[in-house]
Amino acid sequence: NQIHIFDPQGNSLIPDALATLLVLSEGKPVSQYQQVVSRADGTTLPVLVNAVPIEHRDLLAWMGTEVDEGTLPAILPMALVVHQDVTPFKEAEELKDNVLGEVAHELRTPLTLIKGFASALLTDTATGKGVPLAEWQQEAITEIDLGADMLTRLTNDLLDVVRLQGRRLVINPEPFNILTLTQRMIVDLQRTTERHQIRLSLIPASLCELMASIDEGRIQQVLSNLLTNAIKYSPQGGTIEMSLRKEEQETVLISIEDHGIGIPQAEQARIFGRFARASNGETHRISGTGLGLYLCRELVLQHKGQIWFESREGVGSTFFVRLSLMPDHATSDAIKPVDPLPV
């Protein structure tokens, strides 16, 4: 019937990934599965699919039909599938995104002014130009400068979220050495904290280049967010271990481990969602927006990479990112799996 089904990101779904076929083939319920139905006339319908498998015996019993075991079709699976039209929710979400986008956009000009003048005042005093500022004035302007940086990060994150929703966030991959990027970031972030020690380990230790086709700014945004979180959610300080492991499958596995507050088990599944924050962050009065990890995941997915984490509340968290390397550079120093023992 010229009907096609897509996931919310616009990727065509293979039949095995369709909610209806999933429930029939696996015999397990499917809940809150988002799909987009594209009709023959080109219009689309966003739907939420919930489905439960049904036993023939149960169905006949509900219908009040006498069950004759011998006549039950043994193999044909059945399911009750509900497609809910979520157009109004999507429209409301779009409206919210548009408002967010407008606000974030409008905030950029005044923020640039605040940042520009605060930086100019600080630099002029440091270089002896103009009337020198008193110590308390310098402190106040430094706070204004830091506040402006925070607001700029927040507005940039909001603009990215809106771009992602409108599928307008495009990455521009170019060959780049991930190792150089990581080393530079560690130096920069180490400057922001005295209570944490950021360590980098390379596997193998002889690693000197990790060329990948990436959008440098975007991967820096991902790693910077993960490292900043490792610092922020370890309020007692301590070591943060970052490692870069070159793998056999022409990939690099980046891990960032902290010994901070961790993420409660029950909240882990939704932590990559938009505006998702774990409850223990609030308890420790650590501020945040819950946008960073959402953006990290989307950006890593745009690079066709993977992102996941392991965490225990009160013990710490390790975030992992796997990215493809450029073929020429992938094999030379790669870790080889240990040869299996002869049988």
Question: How many degrees, rounded to 5, is the angle at CA 9 between CA 5 and CA 12?
Answer: 30
- Look at the block and give the residue holding tokens 């979180």: 229
Kindly give, in sequence order, each residue whose CB lies less than 8 Å from that of residue 305, ignoring residues fewer than 6 positions away: 321, 322, 323, 324
Is residue 317 part of the contact set for ligand ADP (CB under 6 A)? yes
Give min distance, CB of 71 to ligand ADP, in A: 55
Is residue 155 part of the contact set for ligand ADP (CB under 6 A)? no
301 vs 294: CA distance, rounded Å = 11
Nearer to ligand ADP, 118 or 291 (CB): 291
Footprint (CB under 6 A) of ligand ADP, residues 207-266:
225, 229-230, 233, 258, 260-263
268 vs 293: CA distance, rounded Å = 12
- Report cis status (omega within 30 of 0) of the bond before 132: no
Nearer to ligand ADP, 165 or 317 (CB): 317
Give min distance, CB of 79 to ligand ADP, in A: 35
Helices (H) and strands (E) in the chain, counts: 9, 11
- Structure tokens that stand for 230 in this block: 């490792």
Is residue 271 part of the contact set for ligand ADP (CB under 6 A)? yes
Nearer to ligand ADP, 47 or 226 (CB): 226
Q: Which helix (H) or strand (E) holds 207?
A: none
Footprint (CB under 6 A) of ligand ADP, residues 274-313:
276-278, 281, 288-294
* Total site size for ligand ADP, rule CB under 6 A: 22
Give min distance, CB of 125 to ligand ADP, in A: 32
DSSP codes, 123-183: HHHHTT-SSPPPHHHHHHHHHHHHHHHHHHHHHHHHHHHHHHHTT------EEEEHHHHHH
Give min distance, CB of 118 to ligand ADP, in A: 23
Nearer to ligand ADP, 47 or 300 (CB): 300
Nearer to ligand ADP, 2 or 287 (CB): 287
Sites of contact with ligand ADP (CB under 6 A): 225, 229-230, 233, 258, 260-263, 271, 276-278, 281, 288-294, 317
